Amino acid sequence: MNIDKRLVRKDSLEKLFDILKRNSKTIYAPFTKNGKSTFRDTESFGAISTGYIQTTESAKDIAFPRTEKLLDFSKSKEGMSVKGTDLNDIPDVILWGVRPCDASGIGELSSIFNWDYKDEIYINRLSKVTVFGFSCSKSDEYCFCTSVGGNPGNTAGSDILFTLLGEEGDYLAEIITEKGLAVVDLAQNLFEKTDISGKEKFLAELPVKFSHEDIRLKLDKFFESKEWIEQSLRCLGCGACAYVCPTCACFDIQDEAHGKKGSRVRCWDSCGFSHFTVHTSGYNPRNVQSARWRQRIMHKFSYMPERLSVYGCTGCGRCSRACPVDMNILEHLISIQEVTV
Amino acid sequence: MVDLIKRAKELLESSAVKVVIGYEQGTGNKTRALFVEKTEDADKLIFDSRCIQNLAAYVTKKEVKEKGKMAIAATLPVMRSIIQLASEFQVNDNNLLVLGITPESNLIEFANLVEVETFVHQYQIEIDARNKEMLDKLAKMTSAERWKFWVDELAPCFKCYACRAACPMCYCSRCTVDFNQPQWIPVPSTELGNLEWHIMRAMHLTGRCIDCDACYNACPLSIPINLLTKRMLVDAKEHFGNYQPSLKGDNLMSTYKPDDKENFIQ
């Protein structure tokens, strides 16, 4: 559908929130605790965090939760009985306050979960989500969406994208999908007709810092580079980067059993961990941190473009902000681009 | 830090050590670990109040240890960690040289770990006022209130294990939580799984944790997990005596002797 542009007044956002609540919508919005923000089921407009450049956690949890029960099992004399997840139990959710680099990450995540195997739980969860994107009027030194094909007003992944129109606090609302239109239908009078066309002057300015195409080509001959060892020496091998990343999709499957019954659960996993993909034989395909760090970069900038025709990085900079030892992905990508093979 | 740079260069030039572990300017206003192997890189070494990462976490890291003898720029918490690690046979005078940084930010030379221990023992491990206040507040809660506090605080934890990675005492090559046959701790990030993980960690660190706050500083979600280890520090002191890391290996909560007459542990 063509993108329909409307004006949403400053005071109308709260009214919109209330109307959606009156229509029994579940709204996940940024919530701050201990100075860190994440998307939570939110009951009041006043509880929503504002003014953030980027939330600490990505919004991927909504379609790819950190812990997803795949099935319940129980053992008895008659044998084993198994009950799969009821896809009808998945709630409709409005994801409120998502930055464009997060919203566009949904496309990349989806390309993984729709690759050789169609992941029904993920697909169903995502089908129930309506994304309210909010363009960026500010950026920081960790942001680099423009270097990986995005931009601070990118509509990809959003169902409605709100752009703050200067200090007065009104918003341009771009209604991008049928899902977005369905929300507008609930609150027609809040979405006023407008002749505003350009939003660019209201967006953060973010110069391109490297070329992701160049990185991809460079990586073809970079597998054996010593740069991986130098970059990763201070990496402590935790999973903070992967867990805040909007596109990291690796998971582990665990059985949580108590006596004769239990659940099979999908949990996030990270290539940073020393035991990631260790074989049952005990063989570890990546037995040093440099090989694990290389996997992280190669997966995002070489393997994904090759297999899925998308890059596995949206330039949100979360991993760099979250890293306890300043593994800064932007700095490292620029080094890779500059180092001679 | 001119003295540190000069000393690092001397040590590398004379091949007394293969690598000097210190701090450098990171991105933004961050500082980060630097591993100096070439004398010319020593000029990047810095030291100021932002340098709070516990560098002792690196002396048990395979990739760093493999380089050969290490020297480490060590603040008081780092020195304490090193003594505890030495008592657990993880480092010794043959593989580690300590370049001490006193609380007054002066460089202090140590001939061996015995001298480091003597220096460390001049200072008691003291919980800071802000955290002491938090511990008092928690102690005054009813058990139901305290339970709610921890369930709420630990709810955001997604088990990235940055706390474990940043802790010098968490050097196990395979952590209990990574076992699934048999499974000891629930792997998923759930209310129970998170509680069990953090309680287990605090228990394992009791009598070994030197209260450096590395776990809290590393947590990407700023969960105050250091309150758990601090509480254990207070409780252990009350019931088992004052804790100081010691080369004698007389740990507060456990003892280990290679010639233990019991054979069930061997």
A125 occurs within a structural domain: yes
Q: In sequence order, what are the residues at sequence separation of 6 or more whose Cβ sits closer than 8 angstroms to the Cβ of residue B128?
A: none
What are the two backbone dihedrals, phi and then psi, of residue B157, each rounded to the nearest 5 degrees? -55, 125
Same domain flag for A148 and A229 = no
User: What number is the average pLDDT over the span A251-278?
Assistant: 94
- Among A258-262, B156-160, B162-166, the range scoring the smallest mean pLDDT is A258-262
Rg (CA), chain B: 19
Convert the pLDDT of each residue in A48-60 to its tens digit.
999 899 999 999 9
Question: Which pLDDT score is estimated for B61?
Answer: 96
User: What number is the average pLDDT over the span B219-225?
Assistant: 98
- The total domain count for chain A is 2
Same domain flag for A242 and A130 = no
> How many CA atoms does the CB half-sphere of A133 hold within 13 Å?
31
Convert the pLDDT of each residue in A154-180 to its tens digit.
999 999 999 999 888 999 999 999 999
Residue A90 DSSP one-character state:
P
- The chain-wide mean pLDDT, for chain A, equals 95
C-beta separation of B178 from B137 below 8 A: no
pLDDT of B58 higher than 60: yes
Rg (CA), chain A: 21
Q: Are strands A4-8 and A26-33 parallel, antiparallel or unpaired?
A: unpaired
Convert the pLDDT of each residue in B230-255 to its tens digit.
999 999 999 999 999 999 887 888 77
Question: Which pLDDT score is estimated for B218?
Answer: 98
User: Is B210's Cβ below 8 Å from some Cβ in A?
Assistant: no
Q: Is A161 helix (H, G, I), strand (E, B) or coil?
A: strand
pLDDT of A195 higher than 90: no
Cross-chain residue pair A34–B217, CB shorter than 8 Å: no
pLDDT of A31 higher than 80: yes
Residue with tokens 């007003």, as numbered in its chain: A153
Among A71, A234, A323, most B C-beta atoms within 10 A, so best to mutate, is A234
A253 occurs within a structural domain: no
Cross-chain residue pair A36–B222, CB shorter than 8 Å: yes
Chain B CA closest to residue A242: B160
Same domain flag for A228 and A294 = yes
B91: closest CA among B52, B57, B125, B48? B57
C-beta separation of A267 from A252 below 8 A: yes
Q: Is B216 helix (H, G, I), strand (E, B) or coil?
A: helix
Question: Which pLDDT score is estimated for A305?
Answer: 97
Same domain flag for A158 and A286 = no
- Among A335-339, B94-98, B112-116, B223-227, the range scoring the smallest mean pLDDT is A335-339
Same domain flag for A236 and A102 = no
Query: What residues of chain B lie within 8 A of the CB of A33, using their CB?
Result: 156, 221
Query: What residues of chain B lie within 8 A of the CB of A326, using their CB?
Result: 26-27, 30-32
Q: Are strands A93-98 and A26-33 parallel, antiparallel or unpaired?
A: parallel
Q: How far apart are CA A129 and CA A27, in angstroms?
A: 10
Distance from CA of A69 to the nearest CA of B (A): 10
Same domain flag for A165 and A311 = no
Q: Is B25 helix (H, G, I), strand (E, B) or coil?
A: strand
A11 occurs within a structural domain: yes
Question: Which pLDDT score is estimated for B263?
Answer: 76
Residue that finishes a domain, picked among A170, A202, A234: A202
A132: closest CA among A82, A86, A168, A98? A98
Burial degree of A246 (CB within 10 A; 0-12, 13-18, 19+): buried
User: What number is the average pLDDT over the span B127-145?
Assistant: 97
Chain A CA closest to residue B31: A326
User: Is B3's Cβ below 8 Å from some Cβ in A?
Assistant: no
User: Is B189's Cβ below 8 Å from some Cβ in A?
Assistant: yes
Residue that finishes a domain, picked among A176, A202, A228: A202
Of B30, B189, B221, nearest to A326 by CB-CB distance is: B30
Convert the pLDDT of each residue in A42-98 to its tens digit.
999 999 999 899 999 999 999 999 999 999 999 999 999 999 988 988 999 999 999
A19 occurs within a structural domain: yes
Question: Which pLDDT score is estimated for A340?
Answer: 79
C-beta separation of A243 from A308 below 8 A: no
Question: Which pLDDT score is estimated for B265?
Answer: 61
Query: For chain B, which residues make up each domain, given as ranges?
Result: 2-120, 129-240
C-beta separation of B47 from B105 below 8 A: yes
Same domain flag for A216 and A317 = yes
Distance from CA of A55 to the nearest CA of B (A): 11
Q: Is A164 helix (H, G, I), strand (E, B) or coil?
A: strand
Residue that finishes a domain, picked among A202, A223, A256: A202
A128 occurs within a structural domain: yes
Chain B CA closest to residue A291: B63
Query: What residues of chain B lie within 8 A of the CB of A239, using their CB?
Result: 159-162
User: What number is the average pLDDT over the span B77-81?
Assistant: 98
Q: Is A192 helix (H, G, I), strand (E, B) or coil?
A: strand
A48: closest CA among A134, A107, A172? A134
The predicted complex's ipTM stands at: 0.95
Task: Give CB contacts under 8 A, 24+ apart, made by A296-302.
Answer: A296/A241, A296/A242, A296/A271, A296/A272, A297/A219, A297/A329, A297/A332, A297/A333, A297/A336, A298/A219, A298/A223, A299/A271, A300/A247, A301/A212, A301/A215, A301/A216, A301/A219, A301/A333, A302/A216, A302/A219, A302/A220
Question: Which pLDDT score is estimated for B261?
Answer: 81
Report the run of H or E that residue B107 belongs to, with start and end: strand B107-109
Cross-chain residue pair B218–A234, CB shorter than 8 Å: no
Same domain flag for A217 and A184 = no
Helix axes A329-338, A289-298, angle to 10 degrees: 90
Same domain flag for A41 and A163 = yes
Q: Are strands A160-164 and A129-134 parallel, antiparallel or unpaired?
A: parallel
Cross-chain residue pair A267–B58, CB shorter than 8 Å: no
Same domain flag for A23 and A129 = yes
Written as one string, the DSSP assignment of A7-62 is EE-TTHHHHHHHHHHHTT-EEEEEEEETTEEEEEE-S-GGGS--S-SS-SS-SGGG
Of A233, A288, A331, nearest to B27 by CB-CB distance is: A331
Same domain flag for A170 and A128 = yes
Q: Is A325 helix (H, G, I), strand (E, B) or coil?
A: coil
Question: Which pLDDT score is estimated for B20?
Answer: 98
Distance from CA of A240 to the nearest CA of B (A): 5
State which residues form the domain around A280: 212-248+272-338
Convert the pLDDT of each residue in A100-121 to its tens digit.
999 999 999 999 999 999 999 9
B113: closest CA among B141, B90, B137? B90
Question: Which pLDDT score is estimated for B106?
Answer: 95
Distance from CA of B262 to the nearest CA of A (A): 30
Q: How far apart are CA B106 and CA B100, in angstroms?
A: 8
User: What number is the average pLDDT over the span B169-185?
Assistant: 87
Cross-chain residue pair A34–B220, CB shorter than 8 Å: no
Question: Which pLDDT score is estimated for A168?
Answer: 87
Q: What is the percent of chain A with per-residue pLDDT over 70, rounded to a whole number?
A: 100
Of A265, A275, A324, nearest to B162 by CB-CB distance is: A324
Residue type, B130: R
Same domain flag for A151 and A46 = yes
